Structure 1
Amino acid sequence: MTYVILHALAPIFVIMILGYFAGKAKMVDNQNVSLLNVLVMDFALPAALFTATVQTPWAGIIGQSPLILVLTLAMWITYAAIYLICTKVFKKSAQDAAVLTLTVALPNYAALGLPILGSVVGESAGTSLSVAVSIACGSVLMTPFCLLILEREKARLSGETRGSVLTMLPILMWRSVKKPIVWGPLLGVILSAVGIKMPDMVLASIKPLGLAATASALFLTGVILSARKLKINGPVLVSCVAKNLIQPFIAWGLVMAFGISGPVAVTAILMIALSAGFFGIVFGNRFGVQSPDAEAALLISSVLCIVTLPLFISLTASIH
C-alpha cells in the first residue's frame, strides 16, 4: 500500500520540482506567472472540470448523495474553522486566510483520487464516478467561498465597496460565477441534470486541454514556489494537522452520524484523507495574492500523506 501511495504522489512532486527548477533557472519568469495562470485557471482546469461533470450521469450524481453530503460538510467545517483561526488567532489578512484555507479544506481529488481509491476499493466505473463527483463537489461547492472573499477584498481595496457586505453579495457572486473555473463545472452539472449529452466531437476537442490541467497546475505551483522560501510557522503547522488528521476524523464522525456504511463510507473518509490540493495557491495567484503559508502547507501535507493515508486506509478496513 505504501508503494501505491508513493506511486500516486510521485507525479505531484516530480512536476512541481520541474516547475521549481524552471523558475529558479529563469526558464520561466517566476515573478510574473500571469500567462501560466490564465492557461490553468481560465482554460485547462475549467475544461477538465466541465468534462468530468458533464459526463457524470445525473442518476449517478443523485446516487452519490451520501458521499456528497459527507464531503461537503467536512470541507465546509474545515474551511470555516481554519479561516476563523487564521484571521482571529494568527491575525492573517482575509485574502491570505482564504487562500490557505482553500488549500487545506479542498483535498487533492484530481491528482490522488483515482489511484488511491482504485487501489483500496477497486477500479470500476463506480470508483471513477465517485472521484468525478468528488471533483465536482469541490469545484462547485467549495471554490466559490474563496472567490467571494477574494472578490470582496479586491472590491474593498479598489474602493468599490458600498454599504455592507450583504448588499455587495449579489455583485460578488456574479463576479465569481463569471469565472470559468466556477461556471465550467456548474454548466456540466446543469447539462447532466437536464439530460443533455455533449457531442463526442466537442468532448474530444477539449479533452487534450483537460488532460493538461493537473500537470499545468502542478507545474505552475512549482514555479510559484521557486520565488519563495519555505517557512514553517503556527498557521502552517495547524493547517497540516487539520488537513491530514482532523479533517478525516470529521468525515469519519459524519459517516457515523448519518449511518453510512460500506464502500461509500470508505470512499468518503479516504477522499477527505488525501493531501492538501493546489487549487488555493493558483486561485490566490490569479488575484495577485501570494500565500507562503499555503505553499508550505501544500508541500508538508503531501509529505505527511505518506504516513497518514495508510493510517486511515487501515482504520477504514473495519468499516462494513
Structure 2
Amino acid sequence: MTYVILHALAPIFVIMVLGYFAGKTKMVENQNVSLLNVFVMDFALPAALFTATVQTPWLGIVGQSPLILLLVLTMWITYAALYFLCTKVFKKSPQDAAVLTLTVALPNYAALGLPILGSVLGENAGTSLSVAVSIACGSVLMTPFCLLILEREKARESGESHGSALTMLPILMWRSIKKPIVWGPLLGVVLSAIGIKMPDIVLASIKPLGLAATASALFLTGVILSARKLRINAAVLIACLTKNVIQPFIALGLVMAFGISGEVAITAVLMIALSAGFFGIVFGNRFGVQSPDAEASLLISSILAILTLPLFISLTASMH
C-alpha cells in the first residue's frame, strides 16, 4: 500500500520540482507567471473539469448523492472553520485566508483520486464515477467561495465597492460565474442533467487540453514556489494538521452520524484524506495574491500524506 501511495504522489513531486527548477534557473520567469496562469486557469483546467462533468451520467451523479453530501459538508465545515481561524487568530488578509483555506479544504482529487481509490476499491466504472463526482463537487461547490472573496477584495481595492458585501453579492457572483474555471464544470453538469451528449469530435478536440491540466497546474505551482522561501509557522502547521488529520476525521464523524457504510463511506473518507490541492494557489496567483503559507502547506501536506493516508486506509478497512 505504501508503494501505491508513493506511486500516486511521485508525479506531484516530480512535476513540481521541474517547475521549481525551471523557475530557479530562469528558464521560466518566476516573478511573472501570468501567461502560464491564463493557460492553466482559463483553458486547461476548465477543459478537464468540463470533460469530467459532461461525461458523468446524471443518474450516476444523483446516485452518488450520499457521497456528495459527505464531501460537501466536510469541505464547507473545514473552509468555514479555517477561514475564521486565519482572519481572526492569525490576522491574515481575506485574500490570503481565502487562498490558504481553499488549498486545505479542497483535496487533490484530480491528481490522487483515481490512483488511491482504485488501489483500495479496484479501478472500475464506479470508482471513476466517484472521482469525477468528487472533482465536480470541488469545482462547482467549493471554488466559488474563494473566488467571491478574491473578487470582493479586488473590488474594494479598486474603489468599485459600494455598500455591504451582501448588496455586492449578485455582481460578485456574476464575476465568478463568468470565469471558465467555474462555468466549465457547471456547464458540464447542466448538459448532463438535461441529457445532452457532447459529440465525440468536441470531446476529442479538448481532450489534449484536459490531459495537460493537472501537469501544467503542478508545474505552475513549482514555478511559483521557486520565487519564495519556504516558511514554516503556526498557520502552516495548523493548516497541515487540519488537512491531513482533522478533515478526514470530520468526514469519518459524518459517515458515522449519518449511518453510512460500504463503498460510499470508504470513498468519502479516502477522498477527503488526500493531500492539499493546488487550486487555491493558482487562483490566488490569478488575482495577484501570494500566500507563502498556502504554498508551504501544499508541499508539507503532500509529504505528510505518505504517513496519514495509510492510517485512514486502515480505519476504513472495516467499512467494507
Same fold (TM > 0.5): yes
Answering whether residue 86 of structure 2 is matched by residue 86 of structure 1, we say yes
**1:121 CA drift (Å):** 0.7
Q: Which residue of 1 aligns with 2:219?
A: 219
User: Which letter does structure 2 place at the counterpart of 1:107?
Assistant: P
Q: CA RMSD in A?
A: 0.4
5+ residue gaps, structure 2, are none
Partner of 1:212, secondary structure, is helix
Taking the aligned partners of 1:257 and 1:194, their CA distance within structure 2 comes to 33
Deviation by residue 1:52-107 (Cα, 9 ceiling, x = unmatched): 00000000000000000000000000000000000000000000000000000000
User: Which letter does structure 2 place at the counterpart of 1:28?
Assistant: V
Taking the aligned partners of 1:281 and 1:164, their CA distance within structure 2 comes to 27
User: Which letter does structure 2 place at the counterpart of 1:174?
Assistant: W
The 5 Å alignment of 1:91-170 reads: 91-170=91-170
Partner of 2:27, secondary structure, is coil
Partner of 1:318, secondary structure, is helix
Taking the aligned partners of 1:259 and 1:318, their CA distance within structure 2 comes to 14
Task: Report runs of 4+ in structure 1 exceeding 6 Å deviation.
Answer: none
**1:258 CA drift (Å):** 1.1
Q: Which residue of 1 aligns with 2:230?
A: 230
Taking the aligned partners of 1:81 and 1:62, their CA distance within structure 2 comes to 28
User: Which letter does structure 2 place at the counterpart of 1:21?
Assistant: F
User: Which letter does structure 1 place at the counterpart of 2:31?
Assistant: Q
Answering whether residue 288 of structure 2 is matched by residue 315 of structure 1, we say no
Taking the aligned partners of 1:77 and 1:186, their CA distance within structure 2 comes to 22
The 5 Å alignment of 1:219-298 reads: 219-298=219-298
Deviation by residue 1:151-201 (Cα, 9 ceiling, x = unmatched): 000000001111111100000000000000000000000000000000000
Q: Which residue of 2 aligns with 1:30?
A: 30
Q: Which residue of 1 aligns with 2:77?
A: 77
Partner of 2:218, secondary structure, is helix
TM-score, normalised to structure 1's length?
A: 1.00
User: Which letter does structure 2 place at the counterpart of 1:222?
Assistant: G
Taking the aligned partners of 1:83 and 1:166, their CA distance within structure 2 comes to 18
The 5 Å alignment of 1:34-53 reads: 34-53=34-53
Answering whether residue 171 of structure 2 is matched by residue 171 of structure 1, we say yes
Q: Which residue of 2 aligns with 1:303?
A: 303
User: Which letter does structure 2 place at the counterpart of 1:119?
Assistant: S
| Identity of matched residues, % | 88
Q: Which residue of 2 aligns with 1:15?
A: 15
Taking the aligned partners of 1:234 and 1:95, their CA distance within structure 2 comes to 18
Taking the aligned partners of 2:206 and 2:177, their CA distance within structure 1 comes to 21
Deviation by residue 1:130-164 (Cα, 9 ceiling, x = unmatched): 00000000000000000000000000000111111
User: Which letter does structure 1 place at the counterpart of 2:229?
Assistant: K
Deviation by residue 1:256-311 (Cα, 9 ceiling, x = unmatched): 11111001100000000000000000000000000000000000000000000000
Q: Which residue of 2 aligns with 1:196?
A: 196
5+ residue gaps, structure 1, are none
Paired positions, count? 320
Taking the aligned partners of 2:255 and 2:124, their CA distance within structure 1 comes to 22
User: Which letter does structure 1 place at the counterpart of 2:181?
Assistant: I
Deviation by residue 1:29-65 (Cα, 9 ceiling, x = unmatched): 0000000000000000000000000000000000000
